[in-house]
Amino acid sequence: MIKTKKEYYENTFNFRCGNHLKCWKTIKDLFDDKYDGFVSARNTKLNGNVIPKKKRIYYAKKENLIKIISGFGYNINDYIFFEGPLDKERTLQGEITYTDKLYLHYTFSKVPLGIALNSVKYKKFNATNLSAKLILKKYCDEKSYDTILDLLDYYTDITNTLVPVIEFTCFNKSVGVFSTNTIIWEVRNY
């Protein structure tokens, strides 16, 4: 069971939460890597009450990150860094969990998941049980589909009172450290 965001990040960096974008724990690690694409960054110390623009950075070149974060007035050591997601290649994205049934809340919007799910500007849909599985099967490759269902089972506590919510995005090509078409953004029980 994952109780905190910190615990989730530890599990992610230790490959216990499915496919994820390439990550760097420090700005030094990022600069030491030959990666030259766009980068996203997230402040790991800020809570949900902070303006999202200052908590997350999307689509920056790594050489601009220090200036951007300094402009926010935050410590660059409080950020982790990721490959920049490719919005135009997003297909399905959403959250899946068990309540009394399998429940999928999803969108086809080609913007970051948090923006798509939290803005009235983007259409969102819901599906349950077999419909949810069929939608996942249509957009996830086989390994991604199996991973999502395995993560739901693995992180559900034995009494079924705490069940995970899995945030994911499917792409129209292979992405991430495991080269599947689905990125798992978060597995949470908190």
Ranges of residues in the chain with a pLDDT under 50 are: none
Q: What is the pTM of this model?
A: 0.79
* Adjacent-strand bridge partners of 60: 39
> Which pLDDT belongs to residue 74?
86
> Which pLDDT belongs to residue 52?
55
Residue 60, burial from CB neighbour count under 10 angstroms (0-12, 13-18, 19+): middle
Which segments of 78-150 are extended strands (E)? 79-83, 90-98, 102-107, 125-128
Find out whether 83 and 22 touch, Cβ atoms under 8 Å.
yes
> Which pLDDT belongs to residue 49?
52
pLDDT tens by residue, 37-66: 889 998 887 765 555 556 788 889 989 999
Nearest-angstrom CA–CA distance, 190 and 174: 29
Nearest-angstrom CA–CA distance, 29 and 82: 11
> Which pLDDT belongs to residue 162?
75
> Which pLDDT belongs to residue 167?
95
Nearest-angstrom CA–CA distance, 161 and 96: 16
Which residues lie below 8 Å from residue 181, measured CB to CB, with a gap of 6+? 139, 140, 141, 144, 170, 171, 172, 173, 174, 175
Nearest-angstrom CA–CA distance, 46 and 44: 6
